[in-house]
Structure 1
Amino acid sequence: MRDAILVENLGKHFNRYHVTKPFTIMEAVLSGLQRIKPVEHFWALRGVSFTVEGGKMLGVIGHNGAGKSTLLQLLGKVAHPTEGRIKMRGRVGALLDLGAGFHGDLTGRDNLFVTAIVAGLRRQEVAYRLDRIVKFAELEGFIDNPVRTYSSGMMMRLAFSIAVHTDPDILLVDEFLSVGDLSFQVKCLNRITEMKEQGCAIVLVSHDVSQVERLCDRALWLKQGTVMAYGEPEVVAGQYTSEMRSQTQHRTPHRPPQLTRTGAQLQVNQNRFGSLEAEIIDVRFLPKSAIESGDRLQVEIDYRAQPTVDSAIFSVAVSQEDSKPCLDVNSLEAGIPYIPLQEKGTIRLTLDRLDLSSGQYFVNVGIYKQDWSYAYDYHWHVYPLTVDSKTPSKGILQPPMRWEVVSSKTPQLLPPR
């Protein structure tokens, strides 16, 4: 399939002005015209090249300020490049700032028509798809209410639904899984996967490396506006994660060993990593640290943050003694985009059942900066978990099972020829 997006040597240049830049002619004259000139020039993007075929998805990763949003704006023609060229084949749909173009005094139905027509559909086409769009957004009872009465989640659901029902050939997505609750996010993911299978080329900007590995065919890592890596998602994600670990180790302060409540020793840069702007002060397993396979398990994490942290991501992973992963989950992928950290608090993860085979495991817990750039605190192989099972298994999983003889026939000897 031919390339739907072609980007060659793309660059975007910005000027930074004095904080007291004059806004009127009088202010400019009184300041001697000196503060009108930019005080600094910088490249938000430079030398960026890639292609995306129809039916493929490109994941773009990088820390805040890496140039990801600028790239989407240039692809969506919200801004114009300073150098290089962009070639887009087909209709473009963009999920950049969901709901930003809605008019508060118009109803959801009116905004739906306006937005879809601006996206390139004829009025008859919008009317034909109206019921599907409203049903997908789960707004049947509110579509004729003014949008100013909508919650932010309702507006985002409507904007997303409109965008994915306008049949774009190219879709630009900025963190689509932050839309709505967990069930709606699953619906969004299924819809995006369906569009990809139908030949839509997709560019996804995400802070979630595992999401890019799971969904994308290629990955692009941006750092300070330049391409650090471009290629297979597993390789690029591995390089990005490796740098994040080195950033975490670099930020980890020297501290003497500390003992946990159970007597385990925490040593920085050995089994504890992080800037310690927020600290894990205790981890508990409920009902206990030795369970039967298939039992319910709760992991409670006590933390402290001084000063408070605006937003963080919590992660819990279960690994074998040889570090092979069995489970790796985090609050962001679970549909909780922001967890503000107070001075002290507790986070609880409930696993309704843990179907692991008999053995010794470790539960690794971490608190991360919202953009995954480094860990505030991460404890590795500190908290042991014992799982017992009455049924032997050679693998890791021990799910509920039963054997049944569905049918049986006694073999008959064929007569000799």
Structure 2
Amino acid sequence: MTESIVVQRLGKRFSQYHCDRPNTIMEAALSGWRRLKPVEHFWALRDVSFMVAPGKMLGIIGRNGAGKSTLLRLIGGVGRPDEGKVRLKGRVGALLDLGAGLHYDLTGRENVFVCGVVAGLTRREVAQCFGSIVEFAELAEFIDNPVRTYSTGMQMRLAFAVAVHTQPQVLLVDEFLSVGDLSFQSKCLERIAQLKEQGCAIIYISHSVEQVQELCDQVLWLRKGQVVAQGEPEVVVGQYLAEMRSETQERTPLRPPQLTKAGIELRVNENRFGSLEVEITNVRLLPASKLHSGDALSIEIEYLSPQLIHAPNFGVSISNEDGEVCFDTNISARELALPSIQGQGKITLRLDRLDLSGGQYFVDVGIYETQWDYAYDYHWHAYSLVIDSMIQKRGLLCPPHRWEISKAQMTMLKRL
């Protein structure tokens, strides 16, 4: 087998039970053992097949509930398929759930050794790369603190650092890079690229189709557990986005231009799209729409929902004038869920620091249907953001950095 990952006709079936299913033996006995059997069965995955060769990266896209995470868990050995088979070649590094595999009562140091040994390294091998892991995770000050005291981003950094230092031949990543600051995300992507060059086969799930298109050699599109398309990133991502846009545009009602509270004009089918069952009434960039690189940014989204809407998804992306997406996140990517909403409300996204190079950017905001089938309201390139930076450089990111020159080199320079 030359391929590192082979998935053949994979299928996974789940059972749905009665909403009043007994929770205890006593309740079951009193009800005459009724409502214990499944009400129905459904296939979360059906007839999924693909291969990933060493040094190649497969992106998996699809709406919520399409079966992406179920597929990755089956490949990673979490659960057993009801149909088909999975064959893997080499050591597997898996980032399936944020914090999965971390023991919260153990310190960061202890977790590094536990996770490394579980991944197949010897204790000596873990000790040899321990310094690199801590340096990569940027957790030197907290490595001897219990993981339960870590923030979500710190947990992600630790888990990712361990996974990429176990020398995996297969790497599985499920929406992991939606957590953490921009500079660390960039470092993670660089490390993934290095592993790919070294022959690691990678499967990557993300809601950011732009990122999938940029990073992956092939893309697999899932819908309701079945493969819709598989092939070149530009083609498959284009088909996926066309379907989403088509659904949203069909639901977008004709309406004259409107002004936000800040006086920004919103024009339907130009910079505003959606069914408008929920409306974004105002967006505020705080403390201002002009910042210095590295400053914190809060994005306040005010909305109005005349009717009851179940568990909408909120999303925010930041792109430059050339259309490159610099940052993209949403509520479901952080494994958060809003309850049903109705009436007026406000939700805020807080970025601790925004390490972007100087220039003009746009903040796009949207509210989407639970399964991402279409947008309720999406504002595109309506909100301008200007980043000032004293450092003129190429690239999108401008993270804190410094140059260090050895004393011997300084002495040599003084002599010249």
What CA distance in whole angstroms lies between the structure 1 residues aligned with 2:133 and 2:238? 38
Alignment match, 1:367? 366
Shift of 1:159: 1.1
Alignment match, 1:34? 34
* Structure 1: gaps (5+ residues): 286-297, 320-325, 357-362, 385-417
Shift of 1:104: 2.5
What CA distance in whole angstroms lies between the structure 2 residues aligned with 1:355 and 1:213? 23
Shift of 1:315: 4.4
What CA distance in whole angstroms lies between the structure 2 residues aligned with 1:114 and 1:282? 48
What CA distance in whole angstroms lies between the structure 2 residues aligned with 1:348 and 1:135? 26
Shift of 1:105: 2.4
Asked whether the 8 Å contact 2:366–2:378 carries over to 1, the reply is: yes
CA 1:212–1:126: 2 relative to 1, 3 Å: same
Shift of 1:116: 0.6
Alignment match, 1:305? 304
Alignment match, 1:93? 93
Moved more, 27-36 or 209-218: 27-36
Letter in 2 for 1:232: E
What CA distance in whole angstroms lies between the structure 1 residues aligned with 2:102 and 2:348? 38
Alignment match, 2:78? 78
* Corresponding residue to 2:328 among 319, 325, 332: 332
CA 1:31–1:191: 2 relative to 1, 3 Å: same
Shift of 1:153: 2.0
CA 1:81–1:108: 2 relative to 1, 3 Å: same
What CA distance in whole angstroms lies between the structure 2 residues aligned with 1:148 and 1:381? 39
Shift of 1:110: 1.2
Letter in 2 for 1:65: G
Give the match's secondary structure for 1:74.
helix
Alignment match, 2:132? 132
- 1:76-104 Cα offsets, whole Å, 9 max, x none, are 01011100111111111100113232222
What CA distance in whole angstroms lies between the structure 2 residues aligned with 1:178 and 1:60? 15
Shift of 1:273: 2.0
Asked whether the 8 Å contact 1:260–1:266 carries over to 2, the reply is: no
- 1:273-321 Cα offsets, whole Å, 9 max, x none, are 2022443556899xxxxxxxxxxxx9x99753337986522346677xx
What CA distance in whole angstroms lies between the structure 2 residues aligned with 1:114 and 1:43? 35
What CA distance in whole angstroms lies between the structure 2 residues aligned with 1:167 and 1:371? 36
Larger Rg: 1
* Structure 2: gaps (5+ residues): 286-296, 385-416
What is the correspondence of 1:202-281 to structure 2 with a 5 Å cutoff?
A: 202-252=202-252, 254-260=253-259, 266-267=267-268, 272-281=272-281
Shift of 1:154: 1.6
**Alignment TM-score, normalising by the size of structure 2:** 0.75
Asked whether the 8 Å contact 1:12–1:43 carries over to 2, the reply is: yes
Alignment match, 1:289? none
Shift of 1:189: 0.8
- 1:126-179 Cα offsets, whole Å, 9 max, x none, are 111111111111111221222222222222211111111001110000112123
Give the match's secondary structure for 1:99.
coil
Moved more, 271-280 or 94-103: 271-280
Alignment match, 1:314? 316
What CA distance in whole angstroms lies between the structure 2 residues aligned with 1:59 and 1:141? 35
Asked whether the 8 Å contact 2:313–2:332 carries over to 1, the reply is: no
CA 1:335–1:169: 2 relative to 1, 3 Å: farther
**Alignment TM-score, normalising by the size of structure 1:** 0.75
Asked whether the 8 Å contact 2:10–2:83 carries over to 1, the reply is: yes
CA 1:44–1:284: 2 relative to 1, 3 Å: closer
Asked whether the 8 Å contact 1:313–1:330 carries over to 2, the reply is: no
Letter in 2 for 1:115: C
Alignment match, 1:16? 16
Across the two proteins, how many residue pairs are aligned to each other?
361
Letter in 1 for 2:61: I
Asked whether the 8 Å contact 2:266–2:272 carries over to 1, the reply is: no
Letter in 1 for 2:117: I
Give the match's secondary structure for 1:120.
coil
What CA distance in whole angstroms lies between the structure 1 residues aligned with 2:207 and 2:178? 11
CA 1:380–1:206: 2 relative to 1, 3 Å: closer
CA 1:159–1:273: 2 relative to 1, 3 Å: same
Asked whether the 8 Å contact 1:55–1:199 carries over to 2, the reply is: yes
1:343 pairs with 2:345:
yes
What CA distance in whole angstroms lies between the structure 1 residues aligned with 2:198 and 2:281? 49
1:169 pairs with 2:169:
yes
Alignment match, 1:102? 102
- 1:52-88 Cα offsets, whole Å, 9 max, x none, are 0000000000000000010011000101110011111
- 1:191-236 Cα offsets, whole Å, 9 max, x none, are 1110000000000011111011000000000000000000001100
CA 1:150–1:271: 2 relative to 1, 3 Å: closer
Give the match's secondary structure for 1:327.
coil
CA 1:318–1:260: 2 relative to 1, 3 Å: farther
Letter in 1 for 2:304: A
Alignment match, 2:403? none
What CA distance in whole angstroms lies between the structure 2 residues aligned with 1:283 and 1:31? 53
What CA distance in whole angstroms lies between the structure 1 residues aligned with 2:211 and 2:326? 11
Letter in 1 for 2:14: F
Q: How well do the aligned residues superpose, as a CA RMSD in angstroms? A: 3.8
CA 1:9–1:128: 2 relative to 1, 3 Å: same
CA 1:284–1:162: 2 relative to 1, 3 Å: closer
Asked whether the 8 Å contact 1:171–1:203 carries over to 2, the reply is: yes
CA 1:209–1:124: 2 relative to 1, 3 Å: same
Asked whether the 8 Å contact 2:301–2:346 carries over to 1, the reply is: yes
Alignment match, 1:405? none
What CA distance in whole angstroms lies between the structure 2 residues aligned with 1:256 and 1:172? 45
- 1:22-57 Cα offsets, whole Å, 9 max, x none, are 233332222122211100100000010111000000
CA 1:257–1:86: 2 relative to 1, 3 Å: same
Letter in 1 for 2:303: R
Alignment match, 2:183? 183
What CA distance in whole angstroms lies between the structure 2 residues aligned with 1:352 and 1:130? 32
Shift of 1:260: 3.8
Residue identity (%): 56
